[in-house]
Chain A
């Protein structure tokens, strides 16, 4: 079957939102690292973004049905690499998350797993379409997500592990779970959280998860971070203190202002106006993605795009929620804003697949 893809069908609108957010990101990383030892991180981020755009264009030319076909294999490789990272991974800051390859390459498999999970779940629910979900189907889907999730938690990287959950939830929702099943699952999950809290989480992780409720109780650890973040956001006011002028950001009070807390730095320097602009860009981007899902040529296309939407809105909600004190500190980066190669590449590869799905909609 021959396919005719044309860049006339490329989603230039979506591309526009992505570029806008990327520019804001680079400018804020520049401002936030100006007086620190990470002074050239904005240039590095530009390199990552360039790599991201190239990967997006390349992936947009690959028929996503091929990805669906190889998804099962990719899933197997993901599990193997997650086990490998536990066994031979490089240890950084007490967590074992990276695999080093010869030639100075190192990567964090947990980011790629996210992408593979989106595709493999889309395939799974496509194969089930046309009938109601049975409990067996539901448990299969849960197992597919929970196994890599536990492996990533073991690294331990609670934040990344949590980002797998929305893929499952949206998959179940769109895959046709019935209300009664959803209610029962919700109850069971709530009950399972109790032993998980006591058995699975390490004491420092618990401290991190609870300190946002009372930031002043833990001045040494994450309570301090939350407190500094709230001050940064609040002191920004409506119009902000101006680029390179935020005292929390420039004075090194705000922790890691170029990655996890970049939104706090941005809020301090550009105020509510800037923050609403960024959230508006995210809103438009997500609406555009949902539209792409609606117009996708087939069911797996829709499911993949909605999987991407699920991960993005989850990360935005948890990261911005953390910055403004609604959520605990989990170390989840803000997509398209936070500095970091793995996060940038994930986002752009996901968007590349979405682009292909959009470009394929008129192709028969």
Chain B
């Protein structure tokens, strides 16, 4: 208890005396410093104080804008004045409520509710009252500066993003710089509280988009009142960037995915340019433009559907049967698959265990199956057998060659790498032996195999291009200024550009089989597009075992991931699309979503070439059929020749970089004059859900015969 301390023990008083001398010494040093300034330097400093009539007022630099590949505006800035209330500065906060409410055109109750909501935060912290206030509201605040000292305004350039979360994951958002970023030497430029790109293109191209703040020299009197302006060092605005995104394709992809969860990516396989990237559910980046309310933020980060996650580059899922394309090429190149014939009885036994083919669920079997039928009918038994013959090491080798298990190096932050399982991988991570049965599962894209949509489409597009794989990117490389070229060279490491030699004969076998997939004989027959050379592969990847699913009574959240990878034309494609629909059950549902994106792209190219009418009137008999002559000889290790391709699919050729006219896209955004209250609401889901009953058919060709597509804003208001 208290008082049990030794009273005899003392500190030698010499130590305390020493402390007294130290204190005296410190104070003498301080006085000497004061003497130096106030006696010796007094004249000099008084002159400086006299000259100190110029104050620097910062001018914030506007961020660069974002355009689509045709030069259509995607992300804009607008000057916005926000009104804050600082409770600490109020004389009589509650008494002022009616006057403030009247001046800012709010309801007094609404204002009281805002004050109530912020009552727990420190009184010196400003409460945002109204964003984007009108000139008459600004005048009200200025006129009542004495009566209402608690009102403050801040003018800043605000980011204006497309509404409803259109392309939100790709574009990203801006926000206050975080502590972690300040640790990073790349952000040494920033001070706490600065606004910086926090996600998507806004983050990865922040060094280009951000400008350099300027300042205005203002003359003031000795009381700080402004007398006039002296000079202006203008802010250097950030550089605008042209994205590889095609608004029309993006639009089609957004609408195709609709309210479903998942991702769609469309790329140009010839260059790796990303034409569209969609991840749903989405969020409204306008909410982040100044500062997001904490509740909204918590809602976003705790949502089990992960609206902030860019599933196109971050979701790591089993690819299911889409992996059979990579396996087929591997098997053919290794000389194993070409002559392989398997008799499918709806399943087969490997290593003492019975593996079912998907078709057994329909009480059917595939019968004698070779490589082509194996692909377009997606016969599991064929690929089980192929996987058994190849062995896991060979499969893993080819998966790595096609870039699985590594980042692609796309120029967006936080890409995931995926997993290619192998005996070494399992030993390293789980300290367990590889079981032979696991090889069989990997053979149909299951097991521990995990890919991201962007990885998968890079690989499939590369196969379609005869083995030329490109690094996907969302910004044209020539948009990067020379002084940042080196920086971006190493910024996004990954598999990048690669050439995987593929025998032209094998190339033809696989791509023809992929075209068969969307024919009446294939697994996605009703995704067939009349008049468009379309090829692809379905995939339905289990996320839990059938036994587990049955044991918990099913549930939509446990349904298979529905994959589809597609391209057009089938060889040397101009566009490749991946659709990943979480819990979508069947790959052929996704096939129809991909078909819409491909169709939108092809139609646009045809409109540009002015031959859509011909097709629509069916005056061009060849347009409705796949090209009869296809090039089968392409020099190994060289990019497929563009000339050959253009000959093959005549009406798909298009002028590069034709700049479309500025269109009605502007209506996509909340108009600048309107209250951003609308922009701050919860993101409305993009478009309505498209009901998709099993067995329904998409009427092929209706798009071609229909009148020109309605204005792109339709359905998004």
Residues of A within 8 A of B (CB): 1, 35, 37-39, 63, 65-66, 68-69, 90, 92-96, 98, 100-104, 106, 126, 129-130, 156, 170, 173-174, 202-204, 219, 221, 228, 230-238, 247-248, 250-253, 267, 271-272, 275-276, 279, 282-283, 286-287, 290, 293-294, 297-300, 302-303, 306, 309, 313, 316-317, 320-321, 324-326
Residues A267 and B120 in contact, CB atoms below 8 Å apart? no
Residues A293 and B16 in contact, CB atoms below 8 Å apart? yes
Residues of B within 8 A of A302 (CB): 10-11, 16
Residues of A within 8 A of B193 (CB): 93-94
Residues B30 and A299 in contact, CB atoms below 8 Å apart? no
Residues B16 and A290 in contact, CB atoms below 8 Å apart? yes
Residues A253 and B183 in contact, CB atoms below 8 Å apart? no
Contacts known (A106-B121, A313-B23); A235 close to B6, Cβ less than 8 A: no
The yes or no answer to B630 lying at the interface (CB within 8 A) is no
Give B85 Cβ to nearest chain A Cβ, in Å: 12
Q: Find the B residue at minimum CB distance from A280.
A: B27
Residues A69 and B37 in contact, CB atoms below 8 Å apart? no
Quick one: which of B56-108 are within 8 Å of A by CB? 56, 86, 89
8 contacts between A and B (CB under 8 A): A104-B120, A173-B19, A202-B183, A231-B49, A237-B42, A251-B223, A290-B23, A324-B30
The listed residue (B15, B120, B122, B176) touching A94 by CB distance below 8 A is B176
Residues B11 and A235 in contact, CB atoms below 8 Å apart? no
Contacts known (A233-B38, A252-B224, A324-B34); A93 close to B192, Cβ less than 8 A: yes
Residues B34 and A272 in contact, CB atoms below 8 Å apart? yes
Give B221 Cβ to nearest chain A Cβ, in Å: 7
Residues of A within 8 A of B663 (CB): none
Quick one: which of B3-37 are within 8 Å of A by CB? 3-7, 9-11, 13, 15-16, 19-20, 22-24, 26-27, 29-31, 33-37
Binary per-residue interface labels of chain B (108-137) against chain A in the complex, 1 for a CB within 8 Å, 0 otherwise:
000000000001111101000000000000
Q: Find the A residue at minimum CB distance from B86.
A: A37
Residues A321 and B30 in contact, CB atoms below 8 Å apart? yes
Extra A-B contacts (9), CB below 8 Å, given A95-B192, A100-B121, A251-B222: A1-B2, A90-B121, A94-B176, A94-B191, A101-B120, A234-B38, A275-B34, A282-B27, A290-B23
Residues B39 and A238 in contact, CB atoms below 8 Å apart? yes
Residues of B within 8 A of A233 (CB): 34, 37-38, 45
The listed residue (B30, B52, B119) touching A320 by CB distance below 8 A is B30
Quick one: which of B200-229 are within 8 Å of A by CB? 220-224
- Per the bound structure, the CA–CA distance linking A68 and B7 in Å amounts to 15
Q: Find the B residue at minimum CB distance from A313.
A: B23
The yes or no answer to B367 lying at the interface (CB within 8 A) is no
- Per the bound structure, the CA–CA distance linking A170 and B18 in Å amounts to 11
Binary per-residue interface labels of chain B (163-188) against chain A in the complex, 1 for a CB within 8 Å, 0 otherwise:
00000000000001101001101011
Contacts known (A69-B2, A238-B39, A290-B20); A247 close to B222, Cβ less than 8 A: yes
Q: For chain A, what secondary structure do more than half of its interface residues adopt (helix, strand, loop), or is it mixed?
A: helix
The listed residue (A101, A174, A202, A267) touching B11 by CB distance below 8 A is A174
Contacts known (A1-B3, A94-B176); A129 close to B9, Cβ less than 8 A: yes
Q: Find the A residue at minimum CB distance from B222.
A: A247
Residues of A within 8 A of B41 (CB): 234
The yes or no answer to B48 lying at the interface (CB within 8 A) is yes
Contacts known (A68-B5, A156-B179, A283-B27); A234 close to B37, Cβ less than 8 A: yes
Residues A203 and B122 in contact, CB atoms below 8 Å apart? no
Residues B19 and A69 in contact, CB atoms below 8 Å apart? no
Residues A317 and B149 in contact, CB atoms below 8 Å apart? no
The yes or no answer to B55 lying at the interface (CB within 8 A) is yes
Residues of A within 8 A of B46 (CB): 234-235, 237
Contacts known (A235-B49, A272-B38); A35 close to B192, Cβ less than 8 A: no
The yes or no answer to B1 lying at the interface (CB within 8 A) is yes
Residues A35 and B42 in contact, CB atoms below 8 Å apart? no
Residues A299 and B34 in contact, CB atoms below 8 Å apart? no
The yes or no answer to B620 lying at the interface (CB within 8 A) is no
The yes or no answer to B697 lying at the interface (CB within 8 A) is no
Residues B42 and A238 in contact, CB atoms below 8 Å apart? yes
Residues of B within 8 A of A92 (CB): 122, 125
Residues A235 and B35 in contact, CB atoms below 8 Å apart? no
The yes or no answer to B360 lying at the interface (CB within 8 A) is no
- Per the bound structure, the CA–CA distance linking A35 and B26 in Å amounts to 34
- Per the bound structure, the CA–CA distance linking A325 and B186 in Å amounts to 30
Give B691 Cβ to nearest chain A Cβ, in Å: 44
Quick one: which of B134-153 are within 8 Å of A by CB? 149, 152
Residues of A within 8 A of B432 (CB): none
Residues B38 and A203 in contact, CB atoms below 8 Å apart? no
Interface size class of B (residues with CB under 8 A): 35 or more
Q: Find the A residue at minimum CB distance from B36.
A: A324
The listed residue (B1, B19, B152, B220) touching A251 by CB distance below 8 A is B220
The listed residue (A129, A231, A293) touching B48 by CB distance below 8 A is A231
- Per the bound structure, the CA–CA distance linking A204 and B193 in Å amounts to 12
The yes or no answer to B44 lying at the interface (CB within 8 A) is yes
The listed residue (B15, B23, B176) touching A287 by CB distance below 8 A is B23
4 closest pairs, A vs B, by CB?
A: A94-B192, A234-B45, A65-B2, A203-B188
Residues B48 and A204 in contact, CB atoms below 8 Å apart? no
Residues of A within 8 A of B30 (CB): 279, 316-317, 320-321, 324, 326
Residues of A within 8 A of B120 (CB): 100-104, 106
Q: Find the A residue at minimum CB distance from B87.
A: A104
Residues of B within 8 A of A237 (CB): 38-39, 42, 46
Residues B33 and A325 in contact, CB atoms below 8 Å apart? yes
The listed residue (A106, A236, A316) touching B38 by CB distance below 8 A is A236
Residues B224 and A35 in contact, CB atoms below 8 Å apart? yes
Q: Find the B residue at minimum CB distance from A201.
A: B183
Residues of B within 8 A of A203 (CB): 182, 185, 187-188
Contacts known (A69-B2, A203-B182, A299-B5); A170 close to B38, Cβ less than 8 A: no
Contacts known (A90-B121, A203-B182, A248-B49); A234 close to B2, Cβ less than 8 A: no
- Per the bound structure, the CA–CA distance linking A155 and B56 in Å amounts to 30
- Per the bound structure, the CA–CA distance linking A101 and B121 in Å amounts to 9
- Per the bound structure, the CA–CA distance linking A320 and B26 in Å amounts to 10
Residues of A within 8 A of B45 (CB): 230-231, 233-235
Give B292 Cβ to nearest chain A Cβ, in Å: 13
Residues of A within 8 A of B24 (CB): 283
Residues of B within 8 A of A279 (CB): 27, 30-31
Residues B31 and A129 in contact, CB atoms below 8 Å apart? no
Residues A324 and B20 in contact, CB atoms below 8 Å apart? no
Residues of B within 8 A of A129 (CB): 6, 9
Residues A267 and B2 in contact, CB atoms below 8 Å apart? no
Residues B42 and A298 in contact, CB atoms below 8 Å apart? no
Residues of A within 8 A of B125 (CB): 90, 92
Which of B1, B3, B125 has its CB near the most chain A CB atoms (within 10 A)?
B3
Residues of A within 8 A of B3 (CB): 1, 63, 65
Residues of B within 8 A of A251 (CB): 52, 220-224
Residues B55 and A253 in contact, CB atoms below 8 Å apart? yes
Give B707 Cβ to nearest chain A Cβ, in Å: 54
The listed residue (B2, B23, B38, B56) touching A66 by CB distance below 8 A is B2
Which of A38, A174, A204, A228 has its CB near the most chain B CB atoms (within 10 A)?
A204
Which of B6, B23, B192 has its CB near the most chain A CB atoms (within 10 A)?
B23
Residues B10 and A299 in contact, CB atoms below 8 Å apart? yes
- Per the bound structure, the CA–CA distance linking A306 and B11 in Å amounts to 11
- Per the bound structure, the CA–CA distance linking A357 and B224 in Å amounts to 49
Residues A37 and B89 in contact, CB atoms below 8 Å apart? yes
Residues A126 and B6 in contact, CB atoms below 8 Å apart? yes
Residues of B within 8 A of A300 (CB): 5
Residues A221 and B5 in contact, CB atoms below 8 Å apart? no
Residues of B within 8 A of A204 (CB): 182, 188, 190-192
Which of B13, B34, B35, B121 has its CB near the most chain A CB atoms (within 10 A)?
B34
- Per the bound structure, the CA–CA distance linking A325 and B32 in Å amounts to 12
Residues A38 and B89 in contact, CB atoms below 8 Å apart? yes
- Per the bound structure, the CA–CA distance linking A234 and B34 in Å amounts to 8
The listed residue (B15, B152, B223) touching A174 by CB distance below 8 A is B15
- Per the bound structure, the CA–CA distance linking A234 and B45 in Å amounts to 5
